[in-house]
Amino acid sequence: MTAVVDAPSGASPETAPEVGAVPTFDVTLRIRRYNPEVAGDEAYWEEFTVTAHGTDRVLDAMHKIKWELDGSLTFRRSCAHGICGSDAMRINGRNRLACKALLKDLNPDKPITIEPIKGLPVEKDLVVDMEPFFASYREIMPFLITSGNEPSKERLQSAEQRERYDDTTKCILCAACTSSCPVFWTDGQYFGPAAIVNAHRFIFDSRDEGGTQRLEILNDKEGVWRCRTTFNCTEACPRGIEVTKAIQEVKRAMITRAF
């Protein structure tokens, strides 16, 4: 919201103003609305035009709509800088976080289309039911598994061993990857990239002893073998995780184990 509201005149120097001179422009958002309580079971498109500043993100524009035009527009958001993973949505056909997509990078000359992420049941406007997503996550046992007595100090791990699984520790469970996967779209039975990424994080952690169990779980018919390496997930990940690579590494670990 910092960006959509101009500082009042006479602001003392300690209020933080805009960075440099930023031009304003009009942008149209074409949003897929759905509210069975009011508008029946059909989703429909609605367009809103708002004025935005150069550093505004899609989330700022959506807030402006919610706060100034239509309070019933519903979406999840929290931190607004790409760390909490609440606001994954389909923006111009690509899964992104609304708080990390700058309007000026999206060609504001054309309407920007905004839809809920695909493959999860839509509840209202851009809000989807996340439960199936988290159910898959829980199934891969996303926690450190060890045996024997707890050490009195920390477990040792070399910097290289730590680096081995660094990429997949970045996951924020926003579901951008899983809901960009064509295999997941079909029937929602596939574990999905996010669950596999989180399994990877532990399988390749030198301290963990549950790798075999996790590999067995992902050897399921709905597990890693359904991955078709379309790279949608890697492209969708707002944290820059090499998701497809992680999935391939899990496959390789299974083959090494089987032969």
Partner 1 sequence: MAQTVTPSALEAPRSPRSPRSRRSTRTNYELYGWVFMRASGALLLVLIFGHLFMNLWVGEGINAIDFAFVGGKWSSPLWQTWDLLMLWLAMIHGTNGVRTIINDYAERDATRIVLKSALYLAFVVTVVLGTLVIFTFDPCPPNAPAELLASFCTA
Partner 2 sequence: MQTHQYDVVIVGAGGAGMRAALESSGRVRTAVISKLYPTRSHTGAAQGGMCAALANVEEDNWEWHTFDTVKGGDYLVDQDAAEIMAKEAIEAVLDLERMGLPFNRTPEGKIDQRRFGGHTRNHGEAAVRRSCYAADRTGHMILQTLYQQCVKQDVSFFNEFYVLDVLLSSDLSTGEVADGEPVAVSGVVAYELATGEIHLFRAKSVVFATGGAGKIYKTTSNAHTLTGDGMALALRRGIPLEDMEFFQFHPTGLAGLGILLSEAARGEGGILRNGDGERFMERYAPTIKDLAPRDIVARSMANEVREGRGAGPNKDYVLLDLTHLEPAHIDAKLPDITEFARTYLGIEPYTEPVPVYPTAHYAMGGIPTNINTEVLRNNTDVVQGLYAAGEVACVSVHGSNRLGTNSLLDINVFGKRAGIAAAAYAATVDWAELPEDPAAYVVGEIERMRDQPVGERVSDLRRELQESMDLNAQVFRTQESLTQALADIKHLKKRYGSVSVQDKGRRYNTDLLEALELGFLLELAEVVVVGALAREESRGGHFREDFPTRDDERFMMHTMAYQRPSSTAGETEIRLDHKPVIMTRYQPMERKY
Question: Which residues of the shown chain bind partner 1 in the complex (CB under 8 A)?
Answer: 36-37, 120-121, 123, 129, 131-132, 135, 182-183, 186-189, 216-217, 219-223, 225-226, 228, 251, 254-255, 258
How many angstroms separate the CA atoms of 194 and 216, rounded?
Answer: 17
- Pick between residue 3 and residue 183 the one whose CB is nearest to partner 2: 3
Strand 88-91 and strand 94-97: the pairing is: antiparallel
- Pick between residue 22 and residue 127 the one whose CB is nearest to partner 1: 127
Fill in the per-residue mask, 64 to 103: x = in contact with partner 2 (CB under 8 A), - = not in contact: --xxx-xxx-xxxxxxxxxxxxx-------------x-x-
Instruction: Please give the residues from 183 up to 212 whose contact with partner 2 meets the rule CB under 8 A.
Output: 202, 205, 207-208
CB of 182 to partner 2, least distance (A): 25
183, interface contact from partner 1, partner 2, none, CB < 5-8 Å by kind: partner 1
Q: Is the dihedral of CA 197, 242, 85, 69 positive or negative?
A: negative
- Pick between residue 46 and residue 226 the one whose CB is nearest to partner 2: 46
163-169 contact pairs (CB < 8 A, 24+): 164/204, 164/205, 164/206, 165/200, 165/201, 165/202, 165/203, 165/204, 165/205, 167/241, 167/242, 167/246, 168/197, 168/198, 168/200, 168/201, 168/204, 168/241, 168/246, 169/201
Binding residue count for partner 2, defined by CB under 8 A: 79
- Pick between residue 48 and residue 190 the one whose CB is nearest to partner 1: 190
